Structure 1
């Protein structure tokens, strides 16, 4: 569902779903740069190693350019100190949008789907939950592995600082480390098998 037009919006409304994606991104880029100029944003993208010209930024914001590449989405987000997903699906999240052409869903569902959140399978049109889960498993497993390894590092540091290696705290930490090691082996083994 298209957002409402405003003073900084495109002169002609989007003609299709793809143009609506670019328009939503353009509006959020404009909002986030605030009073800073398009040249400022162009300079930031150049500093980050992937320049987007002032003219391209202006054309996007005014609707003369009706698409954004994935590389541009990423570098604009970095230049504006945000995540790419927030440019593509900006707040508020209680609105309904077109997830894909002719499929309306809550905007937060689109965010979850785009980020492969485990709740997102219900928003996935097509083959359903099993296919979605199978195809996004490596990402889910990588996230879990990262969190487990972070916990492991913290517990190892706490254990190293513990004065009494036989204290109840040290024993508890070793049990938790053993549990984490088993979970890591499961995730890594299952992820390698896919």
Structure 2
């Protein structure tokens, strides 16, 4: 639902889009504003029913980062879905004057790609890409790969612990070879993340943390 009073400028337009996303998700889950408020309180950052109503109707014209995060958590969705609700192909103004597909905005926001646009000036079409710190982009990608590879390794270790004796020697060796490859990749990514300035736990495998999360 659009605000009663139209937004002014890009910042308010972005807030209105998020507010509409919040309301749509809330209604899809058949939650009242009061129930959503209660859930934010349970999560430790309470937003009153009146504040949520003000966000949705536009009486509140701005949104704090903490409000966005707790609303997303209370609704059970990634925050990025509230920011870019029309992924992947719906057009969004990611920055003032930067009209791009929502999927491209999502990639940029999450560190997976650069933000690019085409614009026409003096009958000439220009292609423009927003500068991005390559090391920080690589860090985000490396962290994703590290966590994905570590989870795969943990699953293999867990499967190995409960495996029966029906496997052939060739199957056992193949499994161990894959484990070694995953372990080597985890260590390689771990070292690269450190070189890029990332913060890495001293336990490279994090067996208790990851196995507990996967089983949740």
- TM-score range with shorter-chain normalisation? 0.7 to 0.9
Question: Which residue pairs with 2:203 in the alignment?
Answer: none
Q: Is the 8 A contact 1:162 1:170 kept in 2?
A: no
Whether 1:113 aligns to 2:108 is: yes
TM-score (norm 2): 0.77
Aligned residue among 1, 26, 36 for 2:19: 26
Question: Which residue pairs with 2:79 in the alignment?
Answer: 84
As a proportion of its length, which structure holds more helix? 1
Question: Which residue pairs with 1:3 in the alignment?
Answer: none
1:118-129 aligned within 5 A: 120-123=113-116, 125-127=129-131
Q: Is the 8 A contact 1:33 1:41 kept in 2?
A: yes
Q: Is the 8 A contact 2:91 2:101 kept in 1?
A: yes
Q: How many residues align?
A: 182
The change in CA–CA distance for 1:164 and 1:9 in structure 2 (over 3 A counts) is: closer
After the TM superposition, which of the residue ranges 99-108 and 154-163 deviates more from structure 2?
154-163
Question: Which residue pairs with 2:4 in the alignment?
Answer: 11
The change in CA–CA distance for 1:95 and 1:164 in structure 2 (over 3 A counts) is: closer
As a proportion of its length, which structure holds more strand? 2
Which of the pair has the greater relative contact order for Cα pairs under 8 Å at 6+ separation? Answer: 1
Q: Is the 8 A contact 1:110 1:123 kept in 2?
A: no
Q: Is the 8 A contact 1:164 1:170 kept in 2?
A: no
Q: Is the 8 A contact 1:159 1:170 kept in 2?
A: no
How far has the Cα of 1:44 moved from its partner? 1.2
Q: Secondary structure at the match of 1:113?
A: helix
Question: Which residue pairs with 1:69 in the alignment?
Answer: 64
The change in CA–CA distance for 1:65 and 1:122 in structure 2 (over 3 A counts) is: closer
Task: Describe the superposition over 1:119-139 as per-residue Cα deviations: whole angstroms up to 9, x where unpaired.
Answer: x225394325xx3x3212222
Question: Which residue pairs with 1:145 in the alignment?
Answer: 146
Gapped runs of 5+ residues in structure 2? 118-128, 197-216
The change in CA–CA distance for 1:122 and 1:37 in structure 2 (over 3 A counts) is: closer
TM-score (norm 1): 0.85
RMSD over aligned CA atoms reads 2.0
How far has the Cα of 1:162 moved from its partner? 4.7
